[in-house]
Amino acid sequence: MRIGIYGGSFDPVHNGHIALVRDALASGFIDCAVFVPSVRNNFKLYSMTLPAPYRYYMTKEVADDLRDSGKLDNVFVCDAEFGIKGVSYTFMTLEIMTEPGFMTGFLMEQGIKKKKAEGPHEFFWIMGSDTLGTFETWYKPEEILRHATLLAAERPGDGVDVEKAAESVRENLGGKVETFRLNGIDCSSSAILKSGDFSQVPNAAREFIARHELYSSRTKLEGVSDEARQRFFDSAIWMYPYLGEKRLLHTLNVGYLSAELAVRFGADPDKALIAGALHDCAKELDEDSQKEMAQDYSGDMFTEKKLLHAPAGSVFARDGFGEKDKEILDAICYHTTGRGNMSSLEKIVYLSDKIEPARKYMDLEPIRKAAKTDLDEAVRMTALAIKGKFDSQGREQHPLTVDMLRDLGIK
Ligand SMILES: [Fe+2]
Ligand SMILES: [Fe+2]
């Protein structure tokens, strides 16, 4: 197959990206288009608004919707860059995607028949009309051209001489460059974020953004240091192989909400962000690993299967991600049960876990409302609701929870 690869931040994905891919497919140069959201882009290492997993899953929902609705066939999203350690450059992405077997496996996962998926494949790197002119300054452009033909958009009337730029690349670097005509609208992610006008963001992405309350004041991470913000972005990439989509986005949502609540209630927002983000990091590890890690952090304090992931998470965050801060590790350890004499940080992570925006298990509005003004009251309401559930099922709560309930004045 002839495969067009389209790398970008997709922060957020918008109709301009989709028009580019649509016209690239219509040009006849390629049979399918693969969006590759950047993970640690060399140009904007940490300047992206959202950590990589949000941008990857948001783009995926848009591509799924394009195919399901019959608007575009053969558009996919690939997580190839998550496998790159450190900063990613285009030539590295291409190295991974052109490795024997990689594309076959990927295409079969997308439902492409084995015979077609097995190749041979020819690779194209799709570019907007304004990027070809800078291509010669990219890192290792010859390497890129060794793996792929450049497929550059030409937009009538935007004043960029794409043909001239194409000729220059062919002459200076000896690579293959093709151009195609772009009829798409002119929009950019940065203009969308600046104006707050999301009308050029496809519905599937808008729903995703609303579900997780992204691009809101919360995800600006006001009050959080640059170091903690970078660490949060790194934690998201680190957890990606260990958690499925729903749980990964949940645990990151808890990070965002914890940081916001920490600013509101005078706790440390840097610690809250990291503790919240990592709180469920061990939840999809196998049970034996969870048991061993739980034992390591807190002996026999947690034995019930459902509770293991909390103390295990402290150890996984410590040994796997390198988080050494005891307050953060404790907030992870006690996020499910709570305990007596909880710190504000522990209360915040406990509460955020139960009420982050994507949570829908009961009517959470009263608790979310309380969390706007009164941390202890919101924690009390949450603990009471959980106690009610346990009581109705005739189940006993963990002794640590009993201590927390006592502190909260709940009998
Ligand atoms: Fe949990
Ligand atoms: Fe959780």
* Centre of ligand 1 from the C-alpha of residue 285, in Å: 13
* Centre of ligand 1 from the C-alpha of residue 408, in Å: 21
* Centre of ligand 2 from the C-alpha of residue 335, in Å: 8
Same domain for 77 and 120: yes
Asked if the structure places residue 83 within a domain, the reply is yes
pLDDT in tens, 337-390: 999 999 999 999 999 999 999 998 889 999 999 999 999 999 999 999 999 999
Asked if the structure places residue 208 within a domain, the reply is no
**Confidence band for 183, pLDDT divided at 50, 70 and 90:** confident
Which runs of consecutive H residues, i.e. helices, occur in 138-268?
A: 141-147, 162-173, 189-195, 203-212, 226-239, 245-265
Same domain for 165 and 89: yes
pLDDT score at 224: 97
- Average pLDDT, integer, range 300-315: 96
Q: Which of 174, 200, 226 is the last residue of a domain?
A: 200
Number of H helices, E strands in the chain: 19, 6
CATH number of the domain to which 66 belongs: 3.40.50.620
Asked if the structure places residue 347 within a domain, the reply is yes
Asked if the structure places residue 211 within a domain, the reply is no
Same domain for 223 and 164: no
pLDDT score at 29: 98
Any idea which ligand is nearest the CA of 247?
A: 2
Same domain for 251 and 400: yes
Range of the domain at 221: 216-407
Same domain for 403 and 330: yes
Asked if the structure places residue 149 within a domain, the reply is yes
Same domain for 158 and 76: yes
Asked if the structure places residue 252 within a domain, the reply is yes
**Percentage with pLDDT > 90 across the chain:** 90
* Centre of ligand 2 from the C-alpha of residue 94, in Å: 35
pLDDT in tens, 160-170: 889 999 999 99
Q: Which of 170, 200, 230 is the last residue of a domain?
A: 200
**Confidence band for 147, pLDDT divided at 50, 70 and 90:** very high
* Centre of ligand 1 from the C-alpha of residue 354, in Å: 9
pLDDT score at 42: 66
Provide the β-strand partners of residue 8. 37
Structural domains counted in the chain: 2
CATH number of the domain to which 357 belongs: 1.10.3210.10
**Residues near 319 by beta carbon (within 8 Å), at least 6 away in sequence:** none
**Confidence band for 45, pLDDT divided at 50, 70 and 90:** low
Contact of 77 with 59, CB cutoff 8 Å: yes
* Centre of ligand 1 from the C-alpha of residue 376, in Å: 20
Contact of 252 with 51, CB cutoff 8 Å: yes
Same domain for 160 and 224: no
Same domain for 374 and 285: yes
How many residues appear in the chain? 411
**Confidence band for 129, pLDDT divided at 50, 70 and 90:** confident
- Alpha-carbon gap, residue 193 to 255, rounded angstroms: 22
* Centre of ligand 1 from the C-alpha of residue 335, in Å: 7
Instruction: Give 176: exposed, middle or buried? Use CB within 10 Å, 0-12, 13-18, 19+.
Output: middle
pLDDT of 110 higher than 90: yes
